[in-house]
Amino acid sequence: MLEYTLKRSKRKTLAAYVLDDGSVEVRAPLRTTVREIDEFVKSKESTLRGYIKAGLEKKEKRNRFAPDINSEILFRGKKYKILRGAAAEIGNDCFFVTEGSVKNQVTALYRMAAERVIRERVKYFSDITGSIPASVKINGAKTRWGSCSAKGALNFSWFLIMASPKALDYVVIHELSHMKHMDHSDAFWREVEKYEPGHKKYRSELRALSERLQCETW
């Protein structure tokens, strides 16, 4: 049977989690017996081993991740090659970098492009929808593409610049729609569909990109 660490609390149900280092942590109610916990872990062993394997594979990919000259990276939904150039810039389907850290230069280029493009698209769709945000900020979130506060402050992840233009637009529309509906009700999704009827397709694309980013250490 799998080894595991045990944490007890006032929770009502048993749950098992695979941690980043591949270990298993079981969280159990205070009065659950060790026998019950062992039986629970045994019943979930196959699933847990699958998660452990997948997690360790992702960790190995993260450890190997090192963008360099001739590497291919995503930009606006397409593959761009990293090449040596006279200046750090994006052009001709390439990221050009000078001497120094390739990763740092590429990250800076990504961030600059994201700042420009996302703000342009927010302005474009704000004019169309009539939803004017109080502020727009670009951050480095990897688990959340965008957010909208109750006061109309919008936040977007710079990683969106890796997605296709239509997927990025969908996230902008999504957050602007929250300015009218601060939930995911039917009314909210009707608002989204006014401006992007194919949003489900782009949600799938963003899930795939999120999965890829779990293996990259930008």
To 10 degrees, what angle do helices 165-177 and 102-129 make? Answer: 50
CA distance 145 to 156: 6
The full DSSP string for 118-164 is HHHHHHHHHHHH----SEEEEE--SS-SEEE-TT-EEEEEGGGGGS-
Burial class of 171 by CB neighbour count within 10 A (0 to 12, 13 to 18, 19+): buried
Domain range summary for the chain, segments of one domain joined by +: 5-64, 111-213
Q: What is the pTM of this model?
A: 0.83
Reduced to 3 states (helix: H, G, I; strand: E, B; else coil), residue 19 is coil
Burial class of 21 by CB neighbour count within 10 A (0 to 12, 13 to 18, 19+): exposed
Residue with tokens 């045990």: 6
The CATH H-level superfamily of 111-213 is Metalloproteases ("zincins"), catalytic domain (3.30.2010.10)
Per-residue pLDDT for the chain (218 aa), expressed as one digit of tens each? 899 999 999 999 999 999 988 999 999 999 999 999 999 999 999 999 999 999 999 899 999 999 999 999 999 999 999 999 999 999 999 999 999 999 999 999 999 999 999 999 999 999 999 999 999 999 999 889 999 999 999 999 999 999 999 999 999 999 999 999 999 999 999 999 999 999 999 999 999 999 999 999 99
